[in-house]
């Protein structure tokens, strides 16, 4: 496994491999890796000749009151975790990703407005800007993102299509702890009691899915039932919505597939989760 820290070295490495007709896979991360990240690497490993991951905590996607400085970091731990899986770990410095004269911002407009876009203005512009930058450096053929950040994955797909970037985007499923909590680097912030309460986020989403598959079509009723379950455990709901999974637009009646998406504060720790629901697939009798 090779560690690359300089942008030009990464560009040269990818160019050499493309000249040898090698297929490059890419998993961009902010580090402090967990089994969810590793599942994305495993998903793509057999599809490519060269697997590259990046570890970079991108300041442009954090708001002024968010946890950029406190975001968990452990470079050596991450390197040790991925050694059996990847060929290159790209760990750039900020002044190499955004040099002094850097003056470009990439924004996907409509998909960035709902859900996290309401409460985190500028966040997705920071995400698309850094991902576009990383795609230009790594030049992957395939890149993988996680379903837990579902809105992000749709935005990246739209950016790639609109800009003809030529990168195939795959989305890996949410990986959960045994108690149902979606894996997240921010889970490390939770103490024992907070973690127990946080389990109710997934329970609330599961209730929504169950009601839909039992034939409930009143979206307000479904959201009300989920809200009662989640907020009943001293959790503050930032958003809890049922949207069309293809475009994140509100639905007045059930479409073929919807997404139940939630952002919930466990005290001051913000967690997101979601469930894709194929409405026409009823529960087994």
Taken as a whole, the chain contains a residue count of 285
Rg of the chain over all Cα atoms, to the nearest angstrom: 19
Our answer to whether residue 37 is catalytic in this structure is: yes
The closest alpha carbon to 245, from 146, 144, 150, 155, belongs to 150
- Both structure tokens of 55: 């570890």
The closest alpha carbon to 186, from 122, 81, 241, 265, belongs to 265
Q: Tell me the pairing of strands 236-244 and 257-266.
A: antiparallel
* Residue 166 to residue 162: CA distance in whole angstroms: 10
The closest alpha carbon to 146, from 270, 33, 62, belongs to 33
Q: Tell me the pairing of strands 88-90 and 2-4.
A: parallel
Residues 58 and 83 sit within 8 Å (Cβ to Cβ): no
Give the burial class of 226: count Cβ atoms within 10 A of its Cβ; 0-12 exposed, 13-18 middle, 19 or more buried. buried
* Residue 18 to residue 91: CA distance in whole angstroms: 21
The closest alpha carbon to 127, from 59, 52, 40, 25, belongs to 59
**Per annotation, catalytic residue among 18, 34, 37, 123:** 37
Active site residues: 37
């Amino acid at each position: 496994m090779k560690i690359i820290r300089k942008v030009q070295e990464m560009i040269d490495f990818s160019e050499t491999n493309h000249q040898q007709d090698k297929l490059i896979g890419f998993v961009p991360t902010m580090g402090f890796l967990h089994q969810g990240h590793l599942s994305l690497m495993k998903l793509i490993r057999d599809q490519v000749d060269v697997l590259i991951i990046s570890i970079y905590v991108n300041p442009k996607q954090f708001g002024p009151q968010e946890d950029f400085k406190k975001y968990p970091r452990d470079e050596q731990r991450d390197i040790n975790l991925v050694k059996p899986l990847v060929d290159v770990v790209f760990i750039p410095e900020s002044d190499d990703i955004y040099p002094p004269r850097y003056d470009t911002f990439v924004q996907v407009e409509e998909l960035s407005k709902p859900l996290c876009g309401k409460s985190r203005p500028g966040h997705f512009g920071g995400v698309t800007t850094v991902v576009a930058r990383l795609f230009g450096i790594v030049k992957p053929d395939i890149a993988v993102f996680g379903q837990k950040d579902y809105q992000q994955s749709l935005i990246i797909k739209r950016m790639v299509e609109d800009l003809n970037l030529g990168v195939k985007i795959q989305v890996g499923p949410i990986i959960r702890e045994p108690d149902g909590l979606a894996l997240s680097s921010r889970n490390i912030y939770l103490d024992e009691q907070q973690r127990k309460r946080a389990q109710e986020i997934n329970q609330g989403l599961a209730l929504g899915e169950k009601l839909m598959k039992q034939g409930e079509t009143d979206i307000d009723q479904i959201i009300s039932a989920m809200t009662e379950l989640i907020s009943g455990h001293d959790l503050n709901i930032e958003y809890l919505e049922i949207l069309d999974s293809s475009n994140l637009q509100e639905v007045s009646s059930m479409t073929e597939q919807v997404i139940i998406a939630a952002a919930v504060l466990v005290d001051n720790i913000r967690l997101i989760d979601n469930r894709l629901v194929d409405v026409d697939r009823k529960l087994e009798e």
